[in-house]
Structure 1
Amino acid sequence: MNTQTVRDEYRPRQRRWSAAELLDRLTLREIELSSEQREELEPSFWNFLCSEDDSRHFYRQAQARRGRYSDALFSFLEVWREDEANHAAGFKKIYQALYGQSSEAIDARLAARRVDFSRIEEFLGDEFTLCLVLAYDELATTHAYHRDFAFYESLGPDELKTWIRLVTSDEALHHANLLRLIGHQHRHRVPEARRALDRILEIDLRGGDYEATFVLDHSGAGFNLSPEELSSLCAQAIVKKLERIHGGVPTAQELM
């Protein structure tokens, strides 16, 4: 495969910004939360940090299967991994400000977590299903973070309002990049998408232990979409968008 040709055909879009710079001066004194509220919200903030940090485990799994995937996918994954690491760095800054833990202590907690991809192994078998599970997950996260706008606005600091909007915008762009990738690489397989997404939804809604896989963590602390919303807002929406791809190249508005 000619890498340059693939990259000419498919270039993932990216908005570059630094969460560490944006949140560098964030302190607990500025955040409008009582000690009781902070204690209640700790599992949610820790879950968000873990989920974003777990992108490194997903990326490592893809690297281990590199022979199964196209160069186009890895051009996406390189951009995606950079963005997700940026999001993890931002959630780490927020967690440090709220709970006073050192960077080293947080890193040690993250490193001690169990990682097990057996629950989603069936979706990693080929590039098409990997793209679908990521597209589904990124869209679910987009909707969930969008619903958190009012909460972050209530916290006070302007940088937190900017933060949640930038993160949400990245997640939406990842979703759009994945649909474009499917259109470029797997248009002929679009008729398979409905059945595959039904299976993804089934595994997601079944629950079970989340083992640091990045995807399908929608029953965790702080996640705010119901099963019906995951189906209608995410799985069904992706099928409709991909059916447009099957009939022709979609517009940017359709992808978003």
Structure 2
Amino acid sequence: MSPIQTTIIDNLAIRYAASISGFAESILLLNPLPESIWAFEPIWDKLAEKFNVIAIDLPGFGRSQIREALLSPVVMAGFVKKAIDHFDLGPMHIVGPDVGSSVAMFVGQYHPDRIKSAVVGSAACVLPICSDGILTGMILDPDMDTLKSYGSKAIINGALANMTSYQLSHDVREDYLVSYEDGRFWDTMKFLKSLPAGLSKLDMDNLRLPVLIIWGETDPLAILKNGEILHERLPNNEFHVLPSGHYAWEDTHESYAELITEWVSNGYKRDHTY
């Protein structure tokens, strides 16, 4: 993983890592929840061998500064457009597992000149909401009283327990826990609760963006049905199911990195329409 840095984008302090080596293709990684850019440590070196790679903690996530108005996928897509302009590498491939999936698709819908393709997965990103376990309550419960009774640290550790093969280091786990202290975890729930209204604006049937869909076969939270619906409805996509739960980018990181490498090298240029 490249050194962690901070930059100012849209007047917000944004944590990022970057490996820029003059390659033809550039990738922007958007952090998952309840993780940060450290989630991409297992795939970083593989991607950085062939592409310019930048990872950012989205505003309000990881260690990036929050602006409450950005906590919806539609508005966050506008921020990501500004982030792409900030790094000045031209149109990028956006890899957005988990909360980044809907954001990446909205970048494709509203800012198609800034994005070459999207890699999505492990997300509640279709309507009606398809989720299970605690994620359903995070999105659909009208208040957070039940969730708050557990405490954010316990919820984060419980979510990370779904990581079945990859072993998190102590330092990375601590980064995740510290990133969402002092009420920041509850702020991210505002993003999740915005999904039903936000996803109603996503015109999947007419989104021409090339999309690589990667899903964990036994995802217990953002269930596989999301990926199946995306595959059925997105006009230009490729769909892969990996033998993992929610954290495909870590538990099956070698396969995950290989799929992205092939896609960004050439796969996104193929005609996947049907």
TM-score > 0.5, shorter chain as reference: no
Richer in strand (by share): 2
Structure showing greater relative contact order (alpha-carbon pairs closer than 8 Å, 6 or more residues apart): 1
Richer in helix (by share): 1
Structure-2-length-normalised TM-score:
0.28
Structure-1-length-normalised TM-score:
0.29
